[in-house]
C-alpha cells in the first residue's frame, strides 16, 4: 500500500503562507526527508501529491489534508521522519494508507468547520441581530474587491451554522456549492474584530452524517 492520506496542522507563522507556497514548502520538506515520493513522468516531473481545499491565508488549520504516493512500501512511522524536517508550524497529525479507488479529497470534501476567536463584543444585541439577519436571509450578497476587479457574491448558501460561545464563533461552511465568505468578510457582516481563526476540520458531509476524509 503506497498511497497515504494525511492530516496536518498549520500554526504559528506558517498560517500566513499562501496555499501554493505551502505546497512548495511541504514538497521541499519531503525531499529533505529522503522519503521515496513518487513523481509524475514527463518533461517536468512533479511529486504525486493531491491536496484538499486550499487553506485561506492567515487562517490556521488543525486538519488540513492531502494524499501522497510513494514508490515503494514505507514504514508506518514515516510521518515522524517527515515531522523532523518540516518547518515550525507545520506538522503531520495522522496518516493512514489509502485504499485503491478512493475518491479524491477535492471531490469528496464539501464541508469545513472554523473556530474564530473574536475580540470582546461590545454590542451583543447588535451582534445577535446581525447573525439572525444573516441566517434568516435566503440570499446575502457581498461585494469583493480584488486586484482583478469588483465581484458581487451571494455567500448565503455556504453558511451552514454560526454559533457564538464566549468569544469563540463556530462557523460551519459548505464547500463546493456557492461562493464562500472569507473570515474577514464574515467579521465585517457581523461587525466584529477577529483575533485569530482556525479551520478545525474538513469533512465529507453526506446522508450518513459528517465524516473525516
Partner 1 sequence: MLAINIWPQIKNNLPNVQKPAQYIGGEYNQISKDPAKVAASMAFCFPDTYEIGMSHLGLRIIYEAINAEDDLLCERVFAPQADMEAKLRQQHLPLFSLENHRPLAEFDLIGFTLQYEMSYSNVLNMLELAEMPLLSDQRNSWPLVIAGGPCVYNPEPLSDFIDIFVIGEGEQVVIELMRLVKEVKIANGDKQELLNRALKIEGLYIPCFYKKVATKNGIIIREPQSGQASAVVKKRLCADLDKSIFPLKALLPNIQAVHDRLMLEIMRGCGRGCRFCQAGVIYRPIRERNLNLLREQARQLVAATGYEDIGLLSLSSADYSCISELIDMLIADHSCSNVGVALPSLRVDAFSVDLAAKVQQVRKSGLTFAPEAGSQRMRNIINKGVSEEDIFAATEAAFSQGYTAIKLYFMIGLPYENNEDVAAIADLTQRILYAGKNVKPAEIRKPLKLTLGVASFVPKPHTPFQWHGADGEDVLKEKQELLKKQLRPIKSITMNYHDITTSLLEAAFARGDCRLGKVLLRAHAKGCRFDGWKEFFRADLWEQAFEEEGLDYRQIAAQTFNHEDALPWQHISSCVDSDWLWQENVKAADGQPTVDCRNGECNCCGVCSNLDAANVLAQKAGDDHE
Binding site for partner 1 (CB under 8 A): 12-13, 16-18, 20-21, 24-25, 27-34, 39, 43-45, 57-58, 85, 87-89, 147, 184, 194
Nearer to partner 1, 12 or 73 (CB): 12
- Matching residue, cell 469528496: 108
CA angle 156-148-52, nearest 5°? 55
Closest approach of partner 1 to the CB of residue 204, in Å: 29
How is the chain split among helix, strand and coil, in percent rounded to 5? 25, 40, 35
Closest approach of partner 1 to the CB of residue 25, in Å: 7
C-alpha 173/C-alpha 54 separation (Å) is 14
Nearer to partner 1, 31 or 94 (CB): 31
Enter the DSSP assignment of 15: G
Closest approach of partner 1 to the CB of residue 103, in Å: 28
Closest approach of partner 1 to the CB of residue 195, in Å: 10
Chain center to CA of 179: 15
Sign of the CA dihedral running 207, 158, 12, 20: positive
Nearer to partner 1, 6 or 35 (CB): 35
Nearer to partner 1, 39 or 104 (CB): 39
Amino acid at each position: 500500500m503506497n498511497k497515504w492520506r494525511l492530516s496536518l496542522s498549520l500554526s504559528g507563522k506558517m498560517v500566513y503562507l499562501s496555499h501554493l507556497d505551502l505546497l512548495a514548502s511541504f514538497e521541499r520538506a519531503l525531499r529533505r526527508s529522503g522519503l521515496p515520493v513518487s513523481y509524475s513522468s514527463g518533461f517536468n516531473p512533479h511529486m504525486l501529491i493531491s491536496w484538499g481545499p486550499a487553506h485561506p491565508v492567515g487562517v490556521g488549520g488543525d486538519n488540513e489534508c492531502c494524499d501522497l504516493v510513494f514508490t515503494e512500501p514505507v514504514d508506518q512511522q514515516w510521518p515522524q521522519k517527515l515531522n523532523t524536517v518540516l518547518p515550525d508550524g507545520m506538522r503531520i497529525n495522522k496518516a493512514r494508507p489509502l485504499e485503491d479507488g478512493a475518491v479524491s479529497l477535492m471531490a469528496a470534501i464539501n464541508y469545513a468547520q472554523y473556530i474564530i476567536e473574536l475580540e470582546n463584543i461590545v454590542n451583543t444585541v447588535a451582534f445577535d441581530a446581525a447573525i439572525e439577519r444573516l441566517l434568516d436571509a435566503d440570499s446575502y450578497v457581498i461585494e469583493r474587491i480584488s486586484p482583478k476587479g469588483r465581484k458581487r457574491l451571494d455567500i448565503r448558501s455556504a453558511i451552514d451554522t454560526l454559533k457564538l460561545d464566549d468569544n469563540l464563533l463556530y462557523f460551519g461552511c459548505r464547500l463546493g456549492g456557492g461562493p464562500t465568505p472569507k473570515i474577514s468578510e464574515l467579521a465585517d457582516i457581523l461587525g466584529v474584530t477577529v483575533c485569530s481563526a482556525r479551520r478545525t476540520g474538513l469533512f465529507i458531509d453526506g446522508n450518513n452524517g459528517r465524516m473525516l476524509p
